[in-house]
């Protein structure tokens, strides 16, 4: 195989964008094998824009057609795992849109099934992992440059959405259609980046507001405290009602600090001596001298790293990496099995907010599903 | 009376600084009436530096001597309320050092007693309320310029203290000596400012770390989620182990946003239209146009206000204001009765962390004292 024939399931905003990228020849080694959408109206659009591409209303028929080597699931989140499993069953590679699913139980199913088919490529669209800025942050942490992490703090409120956005689709921002709000639709990017860079927390406490500033049943405002289990803690704040949104990530370590502003600028401080050593060797008098006399350069060096915004190219990079893994085993940027971490964190945040208590990870999956079902049922 | 004769109780770091300010003539309308310290060694120092000032080892004797019109309590926090009450009983004005006390029950006692003596001046040393920057922030909020508050977020980790600071006094950073760590010693300034500017929360959830990076039994690291009861929430983060400390306050409102950096710079954004109106009148398409096309000036105007650091002069201003209130009823910057709010918040944070649950305000005062006593007893 020299080119991957991709089956695009769902010709909405995301699926349409991928189809266009491929048609325009912007993704190496991928062609459109087939398009699938349950909406008959999409068939006309597909046939006019991609006249040579087979169209299916039923994705199983597409999988069985022999026209696709791989699929991408641009459909509501609940469907990602089962579609992925059906593809893998037929030895078809699967790229899941994020989030991997709505609840961990369904994501665990596909992870377990995928593990039985190691020759197949199973990946997830965590496009922000291709952002050179976050790759750099991960590298700085992994290199031990700032030492062990003591605290993380991410305010990511740049996900503004007007009421009209929510009103445009009846499934949007509902328990039954999406399984949540900002935690399952917008913030999964940062939730994944956080655990990718800083590791999985062991405990989570969340205060979420449901329909606070928007007329929706799901959460539009979330504040979470994470506990990494070794004394390190963190804060994660997100919402969809701040039109002047903030994107500020701070990571404090034993030997330094990283501050990321607007996903564009890293301010990296490296202490000359680990903080613990400073604490153990200094008196109150030394401290006064330090803070009133000399500038900060006495204790740390500061480096500023600026990055261009990379919006748009990220999805291309993940699609290309997916094809490259299929064709020549290039390592995946985001293995499908990683998707469960973000889902687990989002589930823990919901559960904590619903029960108003701190939640240990891994969560009680059955309890989560029961609580979610209550909310889905209440909408009917 | 044209000059207030001040009795300084406790000739430590703070009391010594106030005595010096007065001796140097830097505080209008105050002279040193007497100095008191239980430590006999301080007597020598007092008599050499302030030879004409009477010295007492017992503060009751000082109060009864007729040498003082007013007192300031530069002693361990537990003692502030009872010393204040003893002064007021003798018709002597009282300025409490912060915090007003260790627990609300004792602060409530002095507040209730002071209310029976309205002719007396009862104030508290919240020196940071004199900071023009925070006065400006309060004014912006009170004027309604950013509308109703939706979210507050203060990371105040500039309170670095080395181990040597804690080791310098055996009472320091113990339950029995101070009644806590960063929440009762360093952060009360910001805890007061927060409630002064943004109002009292109705609920608090806190994760605190005890002896995390320092060899102390009390908290050196705190993360709190506050709930203002009307949907608005906030985060408050403080610690004493970040030598590259952050001081960043963000306040989001319906009509604008305030960001304060390093207690020196206000970035004020005022939306042209309230956010709710934008949300209700815009489609997804409008949103895309907004974020990809025009700059931010399309939706808000931004103003930057820079302030000089005012460290040092603040305590003078509170002392002078205290005297002015005694002499001519100039309104107090920080009435003594306000002190309970910060103590209540700090108590709620401790209690939440101890019980690992969200705490409603007002707290259960008896429960707090019982839990505190357990920790005091464990040190003996």
CATH for A169 = 3.30.360.10
Assess: ipTM above 0.90.
yes
Kind and range of the H or E run holding B289: helix B284-292
Residue A320 and residue A204 share a domain = no
What residues of chain A, 97 to 156, have a C-beta less than 8 Å from chain B? Answer: 150-151, 153, 155
- Going across the sheet that includes B149-156, the strands are B300-306, B265-271, B256-261, B247-253, B149-156, B233-239, B219-227, B203-210, B359-360
Q: How does pLDDT run across A123-142, given as a tens digit for each residue?
A: 999 999 999 999 999 999 99
Helix (H, G, I), strand (E, B), or coil: what is residue B6?
A: strand
> What's the CA gap between A361 and A93, in Å, rounded?
30
Give the pairing of strands B300-306 and B265-271. antiparallel
List A239's β-bridge partners, or say none: A221
Residue B346 and residue B244 share a domain = yes
Tokens of B12: 């430590």
> What's the CA gap between B295 and A147, in Å, rounded?
38
> What's the CA gap between B237 and B205, in Å, rounded?
12
> B358, B212, B211: which is closest to A225 by C-alpha?
B358
Partner residue opposite A242 with nearest CB, options B252, B283, B356: B252
Residue B365 and residue B293 share a domain = yes
For A264, list phi and psi in degrees, rounded to 5.
Answer: -125, -30
Range of the domain at A57: 4-126+312-335
* A61-76 average pLDDT score: 98
Chain A residue at shortest CA distance from B213: A276
CB B363 within 8 A of CB B104: yes
Based on C-alpha coordinates, what's the Rg of chain B?
23
The answer, yes or no, to whether residue A369 has pLDDT greater than 80, is yes
Strand locations in chain A, DSSP E?
4-9, 30-36, 55-56, 70-73, 93-96, 122-124, 149-156, 203-210, 219-227, 233-239, 247-253, 256-261, 265-271, 300-306, 359-360
Rounded to 10 deg, the angle between the B132-142 and B188-198 helix axes is: 30
* B207 chain-A contacts, CB cut-off 8 A: 205, 225, 227, 233
Average pLDDT, chain A: 95
SS3 for A321-340, per residue?
HHHHHHHHCCCCCCEHHHHH
| Confidence band for A361, pLDDT divided at 50, 70 and 90 | very high
The CATH number that applies at residue B60 is 3.40.50.720
| Confidence band for A308, pLDDT divided at 50, 70 and 90 | confident
CB A83 within 8 A of CB A106: no
Strand locations in chain B, DSSP E?
4-9, 30-36, 55-56, 70-73, 93-96, 122-124, 149-156, 203-210, 219-227, 233-239, 247-253, 256-261, 265-271, 300-306, 359-360
Residue A316 and residue A291 share a domain = no
Residue B216 and residue B286 share a domain = yes
Q: Do B231 and A209 touch (CB under 8 A)?
A: yes
Residue A349 and residue A234 share a domain = yes
> What's the CA gap between B273 and B288, in Å, rounded?
18
Q: What is the pLDDT of residue B294?
A: 64
Residues of chain B with pLDDT under 70: 293-295, 310-312
| Confidence band for A313, pLDDT divided at 50, 70 and 90 | confident
Q: What's the total number of domains in chain A? A: 2
Residue B287 and residue B302 share a domain = yes
Residue B226 and residue B146 share a domain = yes
Q: What is the pLDDT of residue B308?
A: 86
Whether residue B49 lies within 8 A of chain A, CB to CB, comes out as no
Q: What is the pLDDT of residue A311?
A: 63
The answer, yes or no, to whether residue A294 has pLDDT greater than 70, is no
> B225, B251, B197, B343: which is closest to A204 by C-alpha?
B225
Q: What is the pLDDT of residue B285?
A: 82
For A173, list phi and psi in degrees, rounded to 5.
Answer: 55, 40
Scan for tokens 């409008």, then name that residue.
B286
> What is the pTM (predicted TM-score) of this model?
0.96
The answer, yes or no, to whether residue A293 has pLDDT greater than 80, is no
Q: What is the pLDDT of residue A295?
A: 67
Task: Give me the half-sphere count of Cα atoms (radius 13 Å) on the Cβ side of residue A205.
Answer: 22
> What's the CA gap between B68 and B66, in Å, rounded?
6
Kind and range of the H or E run holding A281: helix A275-281
Residue B104 and residue B148 share a domain = no
* A348-376 average pLDDT score: 98
Instruction: Work out the minimum CA distance from A283 to partner chain B, whole angstroms.
Output: 5
CB B372 within 8 A of CB B102: yes
The answer, yes or no, to whether residue A296 has pLDDT greater than 80, is no
> What's the CA gap between A277 and A260, in Å, rounded?
26
* A358-368 average pLDDT score: 98
* A201 chain-B contacts, CB cut-off 8 A: none
Whether residue A286 lies within 8 A of chain B, CB to CB, comes out as yes
Residue A145 and residue A115 share a domain = no
Q: What is the pLDDT of residue A289?
A: 79
Residue B217 and residue B197 share a domain = yes
Q: Of A56-70, A265-279, B190-204, B280-294, which range is least confident? A: B280-294
* B280 chain-A contacts, CB cut-off 8 A: 162-163
> What's the CA gap between B151 and A240, in Å, rounded?
13
- Residue to mutate among B224, B233, B296, B360, with most A CBs inside 10 A, is B233
Query: Could you give the dihedral angle defined by the CA atoms of residues A148, A149, A150 and A153, in that order, rounded to the nearest 10 degrees?
Result: 170
CB A341 within 8 A of CB A153: no
Tokens of B42: 């301080």
Q: Do B275 and A207 touch (CB under 8 A)?
A: no
Q: Of A63-72, A308-317, A371-380, which range is least confident? A: A308-317
Question: DSSP label at A97?
Answer: P
* A292-299 average pLDDT score: 74
Rounded to 10 deg, the angle between the A104-115 and A339-355 helix axes is: 160
Residue A360 and residue A262 share a domain = yes
Whether residue B367 lies within 8 A of chain A, CB to CB, comes out as no
C-alpha of A58 from chain center: 28
Q: What is the pLDDT of residue A170?
A: 87
A99 preceded by a cis bond (ω within 30 of 0): yes
Task: List all residues 6 or more positions away from A28 whose beta carbon is below 8 Å from its beta carbon.
Answer: A320, A323, A324
Task: Give me the half-sphere count of Cα atoms (radius 13 Å) on the Cβ side of residue B111.
Answer: 17
What residues of chain B, 175 to 234, have a C-beta less than 8 Å from chain A? Answer: 205, 207, 209, 212-214, 221, 223, 225, 227, 231, 233
> What's the CA gap between B276 and A163, in Å, rounded?
9
In chain B, the N- to C-terminal Cα span, in Å, equals 47
């Amino acid at each position: 195989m020299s080119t991957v024939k991709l089956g695009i399931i769902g010709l909405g905003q995301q699926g349409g964008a991928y189809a266009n990228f491929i048609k325009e020849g912007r993704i190496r080694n991928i062609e459109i094998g087939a398009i699938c959408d349950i909406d008959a109206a999409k068939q006309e659009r597909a046939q006019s824009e991609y006249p040579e591409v087979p169209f299916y209303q039923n994705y199983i028929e597409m999988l069985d057609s022999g026209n696709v080597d791989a699929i991408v699931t641009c459909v509501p989140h609940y469907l990602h795992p089962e579609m992925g499993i059906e593809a893998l069953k037929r030895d078809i590679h699967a790229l899941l849109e994020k989030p991997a699913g709505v609840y961990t139980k369904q994501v665990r199913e596909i992870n377990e099934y995928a593990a039985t088919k190691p020759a197949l490529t199973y990946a997830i669209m965590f496009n922000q992992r291709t952002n050179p800025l976050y790759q750099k942050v991960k590298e700085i942490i992994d290199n031990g440059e700032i030492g062990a992490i003591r605290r993380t703090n991410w305010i990511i409120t740049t996900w503004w959405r007007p009421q009209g956005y929510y009103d445009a689709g009846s499934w949007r921002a509902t328990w039954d259609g999406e399984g949540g709000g900002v935690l399952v639709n917008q913030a999964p990017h940062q939730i994944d980046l956080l655990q990718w860079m800083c590791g999985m927390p062991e405990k989570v406490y969340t205060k979420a507001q449901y329909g606070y500033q928007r007329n929706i049943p799901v959460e539009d405002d979330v504040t979470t405290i994470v506990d990494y289990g070794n004394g390190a803690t963190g804060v994660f704040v997100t919402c969809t009602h701040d039109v002047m949104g903030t994107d500020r990530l701070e990571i404090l370590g034993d030997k330094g600090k990283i501050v990321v502003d607007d996903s564009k600028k890293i301010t990296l401080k490296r202490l000359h001596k680990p903080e613990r050593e400073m604490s153990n060797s200094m008196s109150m008098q030394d401290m006064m001298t330090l803070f009133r006399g000399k500038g900060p350069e006495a204790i740390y060096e500061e480096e500023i790293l600026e990055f261009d915004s990379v919006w748009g190219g990220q999805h291309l990079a993940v699609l290309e990496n997916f094809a490259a893994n299929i064709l020549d085993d290039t390592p995946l940027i985001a293995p499908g099995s990683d998707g469960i971490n973000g889902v687990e964190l989002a589930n823990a945040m919901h559960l904590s907010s619903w029960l108003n208590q701190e939640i240990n990870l891994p969560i009680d999956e059955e309890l989560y599903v029961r609580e979610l079902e209550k909310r889905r049922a209440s909408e009917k």
